[in-house]
Structure 1
Amino acid sequence: MKNTSINQIIKKIFLLILTVLVSQQVSATHYRAGEITYEHIEGYSYRIRLVVYTDTGAAAGNPLIEIRFGDGTSEMVARTYEVYLPNNYKQNNYQIEHKYSGPGSYVISIEDAGRNEGIRNIPNSVNKIFALKTILQINSSLGLNSSPYFENPPFGQVLVDSLFIYNSNAIDGGGDSLSYKLTECLGDNTQPIDNYLYPKASKSLSVDPVNGDLIWENPVYIGLYNIAVEIEEWRSGVKIGSIIRDMQFEVVDKLTGIADLSKSKINIYPNPTNDIIHFDFAGNEIEHIKIIDLTGKLILEKTSVQRNEILDLSLFQNGVYFILIQTDKEILFHKVIKE
């Protein structure tokens, strides 16, 4: 019992120190995108995950952020790990377990200062609050529930004046139905941002309500844009939860950064795999390989890669993984399934 009390005191002191440090850099957070998801543990206990994407600058991304649980309580949560990604993106991951008192509808949310600068459809974006919210319904008659999760990151490059189709690839482990709709990005008090504008398109901007395709036909102006999509979860015709996912896309006149592996001379096989994956490549020197799981956690990192490299995934849990491959010419992105 004494050890538990001491651990709690140490944790509070650690969070207090982080709070003081964070207060010195809040204005430089530079949020770009993110979402909140949750996983049922037991009873009324849930594991809540926050993933936010920021610029890669030294001060970008708070080491500590307040998560509000929707039951009148909140907690300062320390960042568990971060992953540096191409195109000046950094993924910041936070996780905490929370126990609710009983059934009800709970709005899990965050608010923090400082979106990144120059977002064309959010006036004065660098001074706007970045907010996210997810609704958790605890209803004994409908059964236990975990939120969907997303296989694809909430950002990308878009070619100006061209058809762009993006899908978050939301996965619901419980087999519940999902629906999708465009919504406004959130700011103060997790309300729509004042003067928020949907990005301009020479034809249309829409979301397929059934499969979740974001269809931008065709972007007009080069620059950064933030688009929010609300993913609603349904069971037996009853809404049991929702997530507002804030995504950032850059409209460019020439695509750069992460390339399509299928167009390169690198071959990864077999896929799906039970244990071993092979890398065959010609014309490119692979300098770096990173394997990341669906939560964004770095699982494996390898440098000094040999031609015809073999990696053993036998100790990995079954599921979907992302492979980032840095060559002497480009950065490639690929998805592999471990069965």
Structure 2
Amino acid sequence: MKKRFILFILMLFAICDASATHIVGGQLFITQTQDPRYNYNMGLTMYFDALNGNPGAEDPFVTIYVFRKRDNVLIGSLEAPKIERKSVNYANPLCGISTLQTWQITYSAAVRLLPTDFDDAQGYYMVWDRCCRNGTITNIQAPGDAGSLFYLEFPPLFKNNANFKNSSPVFPEIQGDYACVNSPFLFNFGGTDADGDSLVYSLITPMQGFADKSNPSAPARGSSNYPRLTWIDGISVSNMIPGPDPLKVNKSTGMLSVTAGSVGLYVFAVQVEEYRNGVKIGMLTRDFQLKVVDCPKMDPPKLLFKPKGKNTYYTENEIITIKKGDPECFEVMVTDPTVNQVVAVDGHAVNNSKDYFTLLPAQFTTRVPNDTLKFQVCLEECFVTYDNRPIKIQLIAQDGSCPFPLTDTLNIYIRRESSGNNAPTVTTSLASDYVHVTAGVPVTFDVYGKDPDKDNLALSGRGQDFNMNDLGMDFKPASGQASVQQKFTWIPPCNAKKGDTLAVDFKVEDMRCEGNPMPVSKPVYFIVDESPNRAPSVKTSLPVQEITYQIGSSQGITFDVLASDPDTNMIVLTAAGRGFDMKDAGMIFEAKTGVKSVTSPYAWNPECSVLNGQPEQTFMVDFVTQDKSCAAATDTTTVKVTIKDNGTTPFPEFPNVITPNGDGKNDCLVFEELPADNCDDYFKDITVFNRWGKQVYYSKVRPNNWCPDKISGGYYYFLIQYTKRSYKGGLTVLK
């Protein structure tokens, strides 16, 4: 791979070309790390024949090759050093045999992968190709000459313009156990996925690759169809390990099962496909070998229980009742046909989180055929059943048979009466256990739990045949000592139908015995009634719902809008213009929500733009209130607003003589009666000139009067300009 995204292990090793047989199986892996610099680990877990393999074939490092899946182009390679070697253990170390010994060898390196360098939509694959396999394999041709290719596909690391995170599955360490001829054998090949992806397992013919005896460590080649091993006659994928029940794999769990028909060393491979959201994103192969041997015949132990007062042994369809005052211990027997066999007995309560019983003694060694141990099952104080519910004790006897222990299971159902712990009580603040409710109307009450022994209590609620949260019921679990209290609240949803009855069980549990609480419950029944509803109303503070407004008036339009509801429901007050946007027109009104009543002011100071060039425009505004009850109702009132432009009025008659002498008579040229502005014609300015044309007064602001007390007498003329017309006049100033 390119040096910018792969950290090569810069160690010089002499590549060993030993062609001796040694490979038992294994698989590749690629996993994400939290290290910001080296974001992936890539490597190989390989199983090596510790007895028949040539030590010279144990490589100090492996070379893993990465190809682009679309066209099998080599992207790069990684040299991963050996980081660990250890023996593969047996499930029962005492069952080891001298002809089976395997090493687990791990090769791994931390690398830096740039996601954008791996963005091909069809993804990529890793391979390790090496010769040769274990030479003693039974079910393939020329096993000592057969190579081994491990294969892993991974998705693009960058797609849909984002990094795509993924790690290959992780598998538990393989046990080096063997199978016995004609005996059922289970072998867990299942893994887990850090990304939560689904894994699907299937059996395949193992891959052979291109390496051979003459070139055991040749560089890997890209391929869409790698060579496979050649089975001996009569063997195929359907019976890789032949026998009464040939090798199978559970496609969901990866559990292998087989009942082999003859001794031998059998190679097999499992393909593990990785799915995310139903789409396949990766795949790998796992190779391994299973040794089948001829084992001595072993018989399982047997558990026997004869209830007190009966002459027959217990069968699992019985319930044993233990009353107050009865002995706390009873006797169970276990027998095993094999001599010098260690037999251990264990047990647990299936439907209790704690056992509350003991077994004495729990282990013995057989001295004669069908030797028998009698042991005691002793119940503790908290081993108590409630509501006629029996507790299931599961006893398991296990011997030391090889390769796996043989077992026997005995389930005993026991109903034991309470011995001194008083039951708690649960009550509510309701007058009755039957509550009539209306959709949309809140319901609230308190639930109480009490215990006469002052034990710790846990209070909870559960709907009968429905989930309380789904219907919006709020009742949180609570706990306390001696007493506990919690509030129940509910607003029945609008889809609650008249006549429906919903039951909620409120349960208080005495927690004296952890894992085996004493429960007491009380049901409350909610009966849904019809939802009556009266409509809300909306009005304004206007005497009539019509307004005529002339642009240019000193004040804008203002009034209040009031909404109310006789049922005290939650109501919403809104407004909308018919065929126009109120906000775009400059109208100010805020929608409001409240209970029973709400008020919101309306304001508008219209400008000429709303006339759109017309002398008059009419605006209809609908004010709407709606209650939020389940039987929602509305009311609307409409205000009609007519906006007009000022008409055009003529200029007034102006005097031709003024006498600014301060006597309060005819002192000023009066402009108070100038025509009012309208949207098309409005005041621009006024200028006064003397008889020589010199400007003596100018204003862009509409003046009240011109009182020339500081100029000399004489003849003057004035010019008044509007946007579409003007007026020119003259006057004499006498002083």
TM-score, length basis structure 1: 0.66
Q: CA deviation at 1:97?
A: 3.3
**Equivalent position SS for 1:126:** helix
Amino acid at match of 2:103: K
Question: Equivalent residue for 1:18?
Answer: 14
Say whether the 8 Å CA contact 2:270–2:287 is kept in structure 1. yes
Give the structure with the larger helix fraction.
1
Q: Distance in 2 between matches of 1:219 and 1:51?
A: 27
Rate the CA distance shift 1:82–1:31 in 2: closer, same or farther, 3 A. same
2:54 pairs with 1:78: no
2:159 pairs, out of 122, 126, 140, with: 140
Say whether the 8 Å CA contact 1:155–1:247 is kept in structure 2. no
Rate the CA distance shift 1:75–1:154 in 2: closer, same or farther, 3 A. farther
2:73 pairs with 1:55: no
Point out where structure 2 has 5 or more consecutive residues left out of the alignment. 1-6, 69-73, 90-99, 211-225, 297-341, 347-362, 365-401, 405-735
Question: Equivalent residue for 2:252?
Answer: 210
Q: Could you tell me the percent identity over the aligned residues? A: 25
Rate the CA distance shift 1:234–1:118 in 2: closer, same or farther, 3 A. same
Map 1:300-311 → 2, pairs under 5 A:
none
**Equivalent position SS for 1:18:** coil
Q: Distance in 2 between matches of 1:18 and 1:137?
A: 34
Q: CA deviation at 1:213?
A: 1.8
Q: CA deviation at 1:203?
A: 3.2
State which structure, 1 or 2, has the greater radius of gyration over its C-alpha atoms.
2
Say whether the 8 Å CA contact 1:152–1:169 is kept in structure 2. no
Rate the CA distance shift 1:40–1:192 in 2: closer, same or farther, 3 A. same
Q: Distance in 2 between matches of 1:264 and 1:153?
A: 26
Q: Distance in 1 between matches of 2:80 and 2:14?
A: 10
Question: Equivalent residue for 1:191?
Answer: 227
Deviations 1:129-160 (A, max 9, x none): 01110111125349311111111416531111
Deviations 1:104-124 (A, max 9, x none): 311111011111111111211
Amino acid at match of 1:88: Q
Rate the CA distance shift 1:36–1:143 in 2: closer, same or farther, 3 A. same
Q: Distance in 1 between matches of 2:56 and 2:88?
A: 16
2:54 pairs with 1:36: no
2:181 pairs, out of 160, 166, 172, with: 160
2:138 pairs, out of 109, 115, 120, with: 120
Give the structure with the larger strand fraction.
1
**Equivalent position SS for 1:108:** strand
2:232 pairs with 1:232: no
2:149 pairs with 1:131: yes
Higher relative contact order (CA 8 A, sep 6+): 1
Question: Equivalent residue for 1:325?
Answer: none
**Equivalent position SS for 2:81:** strand
Amino acid at match of 2:66: F
- Spell out structure 1 runs of 4+ moving beyond 6 A: none
Amino acid at match of 1:211: T
Q: Distance in 2 between matches of 1:35 and 1:155?
A: 16
Q: CA deviation at 1:184?
A: 0.9
2:195 pairs, out of 157, 162, 174, with: 174
Rate the CA distance shift 1:50–1:64 in 2: closer, same or farther, 3 A. same
**Equivalent position SS for 2:14:** helix
Q: Distance in 1 between matches of 2:58 and 2:251?
A: 32
Rate the CA distance shift 1:67–1:248 in 2: closer, same or farther, 3 A. same
Deviations 1:55-101 (A, max 9, x none): 22533422222211224112333212211335411111101234261
Q: CA deviation at 1:54?
A: 0.5
Amino acid at match of 1:253: D
Q: Distance in 2 between matches of 1:152 and 1:264?
A: 27
Q: Distance in 1 between matches of 2:37 and 2:283?
A: 20
Say whether the 8 Å CA contact 2:22–2:132 is kept in structure 1. yes
TM-score, length basis structure 2: 0.32
Say whether the 8 Å CA contact 2:64–2:77 is kept in structure 1. yes
Rate the CA distance shift 1:18–1:227 in 2: closer, same or farther, 3 A. same
Bigger Cα displacement from structure 2, 70-79 vs 116-125? 70-79
Rate the CA distance shift 1:244–1:193 in 2: closer, same or farther, 3 A. same
Say whether the 8 Å CA contact 1:107–1:136 is kept in structure 2. yes
Q: Distance in 2 between matches of 1:95 and 1:44?
A: 13
Q: Distance in 2 between matches of 1:97 and 1:75?
A: 10
Q: Distance in 1 between matches of 2:58 and 2:202?
A: 28
